[in-house]
Chains A and B, each alone.
Chain A
Amino acid sequence: MTKITNEELLNSITAKFAGVTSVGEPFGLLTIETSREEIIDLLTFLKTDAKLQFIFLTDITAIHYPKQEKQIGVIYHLHSLVNNVRIRVKVFMDENDLHIPSATVLWDGANWMERETYDFFGVLFDGHPDLRRILNVDDMTVFPMRKEFPLEDPNRVDKRDYFFGR
């Protein structure tokens, strides 16, 4: 099996999905960005396409950029065990409207990964069978991995970046 290059991979994706843009390939791992309307179609294509076969869902997680227009990003890592290629898919959303379709229709393993993402970032996965908190206590009201929740005393200034010339 010859390894698929990132260029081929990107071409075969953009041929089908016009809304997909490449945001680089750090350390050889192709990273693409799409919208939440397209995400399930894209994941289905990646999983079921006879040539690509990204059958293994490595991970789902999220990231918070408070200063961006769309603050919360959901990040999927997929792995094609057949071609031994990985791909990273990102979907960015507005903080006030965090609905995204659930990937549990494609992989059973997405269940807990999405619960964890919900637990820490508040991303609402539509169609998830059991979207509850998983690691934090059930009656917690905040989403602790967002950047507005400080780990230490927020009044503490001795670790601020400007002391280090940044």
Chain B
Amino acid sequence: MQNHPVFTDNDPQTEYSTLNLGPTHPATHGVFQNVLTMDGERIVNGVSTIGYIHRAFEKIAEHRPFYQITPLTDRMNYCSSPINNMGWHMTVEKMLGIQMPKRVDYMRVIIMELARISDHIVCNSILGVDTGALTGFTYMMKYREHIYEVFEEICGSRLTTNIGRIGGFERNFNHIAFEKIRSFLKIFPPNLKEFEALFNRNRIFVDRTKDVAAVTAETALSYSWSGPLLRAAGVDYDVRAMEPYSSYEDFDFEIPVGTNGDVYNRFLVRNEEMWQSMRLIEQALNKIEKEDPNIFHADVPEFYLPPKEEVYNNMEALIYHFKIVMGEVPTPHTEVYHAVEGANGELGFYLVNDGGRSPYRLHFRRPSFINYQMYAPMSQGMLLSDAIINMSSLNVIAGELDA
């Protein structure tokens, strides 16, 4: 790493100590192990060990029908599972050639942007905690709770949402959900402003984060970084703008970029992304009002499970129900790569299908896994306390890291 040369001074002390940071350390927020060689408080070298919560999702997915893979995606980045769910639905829909009605696209945009906000809330407020400022955390967590209430209203669950279905949503948003989204848009901005006022120009916070773990755009690209981390380094790559999915092309939003990719830049980029997400939600709410309020799924009876009452009373619905559940619907022999902008970066699904009831091969391009590999090399020469903040701002989620 050119930014952080290994600490080679003329210190006569040649004996280094080994420090196990993790697998369960309160400062790492998850199951991460790094075996560090320490020279006093400075890191000389580090080796990351991952895989502590590997659950073989790719193998399990080869044995499950498509709609049963959605709950697996929940458990990758569990701070923003709706984005994973939607990404998976869209991958399958792309493979099957299902065109979504506009209203469903906009509903998905709302869900994904809410999830992005909740993910960034966690990352940025925890970053505050790691620098010693617990206040911001207590301010912000309340609003993640508000977002989870919206999810609960829509799909019945909060963290591992399993939201939506292949072909649309399992049910329409009710009026309480819309009210909660609207009230979120009203009460969250003043709070976020307050949060920014608390941190952005706070001397202690800026001193702790500025120029810590700075990354050049070239290095970030070479390590295949994506998402807020890459944008903080100054590259305006956002899947939502480059390859719009779910009608993102209909929306007006900006892509915030940083300059030198340090922890402070990442913090600012994430905060700005929350503002942009709120803009997107507001636009989506306005667009939804112009659409038919009863549409919440595409008209694809061979892939979208019919409502239960119809299964019991309607012959066609029963046939389709049986065919979907037993995996009797023919699917194309093809391969598809679909990427969505996850909260941590490009979340890709590479699906190879052989026409069977489950994928022949499914690979997840997990941003946390790819972003995290720079962590040990970039920690060389860093102070341990800076390395902790760096990990916090990488926002690596253990579930996504290990799949």
Instruction: Identify the closest chain B residue to A26 (Cβ).
Output: B334
**Considering the complex, which residues of chain B in the window 362-377 have a beta carbon less than 8 Å from any beta carbon of chain A?**
363, 365, 369-370, 373-374, 377
B59 at the interface (CB under 8 A from A): yes
Given contacts A63-B361, A134-B51, contact A109 B348 (CB under 8 A): no
* Chain A residues with CB under 8 A of B94: 27
**How many chain A residues touch the partner (CB < 8 A)?**
41
Closest residue to A27 on the B side, CB-wise?
B336
C-alpha gap A149/B56 in the complex (Å): 12
A residues in contact with B59, CB < 8 Å:
144-145, 149, 151
Q: Dominant SS at the B interface?
A: mixed
Q: A15 at interface (Cβ–Cβ under 8 A)?
A: no
Residues of B within 8 A of A26 (CB): 334-336
Q: CB of B242 within 8 A of chain A?
A: yes
The residue of chain B having its C-beta at the shortest distance from the C-beta of A147 within the complex is B62
Beta-carbon contacts under 8 Å, B325-347 to A = 326-328, 334-337, 339, 346
Check A81 against B51 for contact (C-beta < 8 Å).
no
B residues less than 8 Å from A70 (CB atoms):
none
Bound-state CA distance A27–B370 (Å) is 25
Q: In the complex the two chains form, what is the Cα distance from A112 to B403 in whole Å? A: 14
Known contacts A109-B373, A135-B50; decide if A56 and B337 are in contact (CB<8 Å).
Answer: no
**Residue in B62, B221, B327, B360 whose Cβ sees the most chain A Cβ within 10 Å:** B221
Report the minimal beta-carbon distance from B23 to chain A, rounded to whole angstroms.
14
> B332 → chain A, closest Cβ, in Å?
9
Contact status A55-B350, CB under 8 Å = no
Contact between B373 and A135, CB atoms less than 8 A apart = no
A61-B224 in contact (CB<8A): no
A86 touches B51 (CB 8 A): no
Q: List the count of A-B residue pairs having beta carbons below 8 Å apart.
A: 97
Whole-angstrom CA separation of A138 from B11 in the bound complex: 36
Given contacts A59-B363, A63-B361, whether A107 and B369 have CB atoms under 8 Å apart is: no
**Is A77 in contact with B235, judged by CB distance below 8 angstroms?**
no
- How far, in angstroms, from A84 to B58 measured CA to CA in the complex? 28
| Contact, CB under 8 Å: A77 / B51 | no
Interface string of B177-220 (1 = CB under 8 A from A): 00000000000000000000000000000000000000000010
A51→B350 CA distance, assembly (Å): 27
- Of chain A, the residue at the smallest CB distance from B402 is A135
Q: Chain B 368-403 against A: per-residue CB contact (8 Å), 1 yes, 0 no?
A: 011001100100000000000000000000000011
A88 touches B337 (CB 8 A): yes
- A111–B326 alpha-carbon span in the complex (Å): 40
List CB contacts (< 8 Å) of B70-107 with chain A.
94-95
Q: Is B253 interfacial (CB-CB < 8 Å)?
A: no
Query: A151 to B60, Cβ gap below 8 A?
Result: yes
**In the complex, B237 has a CB within 8 A of chain A:** yes
Quick check: is A164 within 8 A (CB to CB) of the other chain? Answer: yes
Contact of B348 among A77, A137, A144, A164 (CB under 8 A): A77
Closest to B97 in A: A27
Given contacts A61-B363, A107-B222, contact A112 B369 (CB under 8 A): yes
20 A-B pairs (CB sep. < 8 Å): A26-B334, A27-B336, A31-B335, A57-B224, A58-B365, A59-B348, A63-B352, A63-B361, A77-B348, A81-B237, A108-B374, A108-B377, A109-B223, A112-B369, A112-B373, A113-B370, A134-B51, A164-B326, A164-B328, A164-B357
> Hey, which bits of chain B sit against chain A, CB under 8 A?
50-51, 54, 56, 58-60, 62-63, 94-95, 219, 221-225, 235, 237, 242-243, 326-328, 334-337, 339, 346, 348, 350, 352, 356-357, 360-361, 363, 365, 369-370, 373-374, 377, 402-403
Beyond the given pairs A108-B219, A135-B50, 19 more chain A to chain B contacts, judged by CB atoms under 8 angstroms and listed by A's residue number, are A26-B334, A26-B336, A27-B336, A29-B337, A31-B335, A56-B224, A58-B224, A58-B365, A63-B361, A64-B361, A77-B348, A81-B221, A108-B223, A133-B51, A134-B51, A135-B54, A144-B56, A144-B59, A165-B328
Considering the complex of A and B, which 9 residue pairs feature the smallest CB-CB distances, nearest first? A109-B224, A135-B51, A112-B373, A109-B223, A135-B54, A61-B363, A59-B365, A108-B222, A63-B361
